[in-house]
């Protein structure tokens, strides 16, 4: 599987958009748990969305985006295959487990 950076322009935040946010978050969580989505970020001005996604090809990326609840408010501007994608590991993930005397 390959990694891709997906740049998306977001449409206006209408009432319908706002109602779809919980469904979008649920879909994002499913994609993250299945390792199809590695990162998801929205700009402070709510006009851009950046995702690092894992898929076999760009067509699969497009179909994953189209399946998202907010897809009609999302315009894919660019999909770029990544050479690599590194991410920080939370410090607590590196810590030794608690020791128990029992």
95 occurs within a structural domain: no
Q: How many domains does the chain have?
A: 1
71 occurs within a structural domain: yes
* Measured distance CA(28)–CA(56) in Å, rounded: 19
Tell me how far CA of residue 27 lies from CA of 61, 68, 92, in angstroms. 14, 7, 26
The residue assigned the tokens 């891709």 is 4
Task: Give 62: exposed, middle or buried? Use CB within 10 Å, 0-12, 13-18, 19+.
Answer: middle
The pTM (predicted TM-score) of the whole model is 0.81
Segment 87-101, tens digit of pLDDT: 776 666 555 555 556
44 occurs within a structural domain: yes
Segment 32-59, tens digit of pLDDT: 999 999 999 999 999 999 999 999 999 9
11 occurs within a structural domain: yes
The whole domain housing 41 covers: 2-84
- Find all residues with CB under 8 Å of 48, minimum gap 6, and list them: 7, 8, 9, 10, 42
CATH of the domain at 24: 3.30.70.1060
């Amino acid at each position: 599987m390959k990694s891709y950076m997906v740049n998306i322009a977001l449409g206006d935040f209408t009432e319908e958009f706002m109602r779809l946010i919980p469904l979008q978050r649920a879909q994002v969580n499913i994609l993250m748990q299945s390792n199809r989505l590695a990162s998801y970020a929205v700009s402070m001005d709510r006009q851009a969305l950046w995702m690092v996604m894992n898929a076999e090809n760009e067509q699969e990326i497009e179909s994953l985006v189209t399946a998202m609840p907010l897809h009609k408010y999302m315009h894919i501007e660019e999909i770029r295959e990544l050479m690599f994608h590194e991410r920080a590991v939370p410090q607590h993930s590196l810590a030794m487990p608690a020791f128990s005397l029992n």
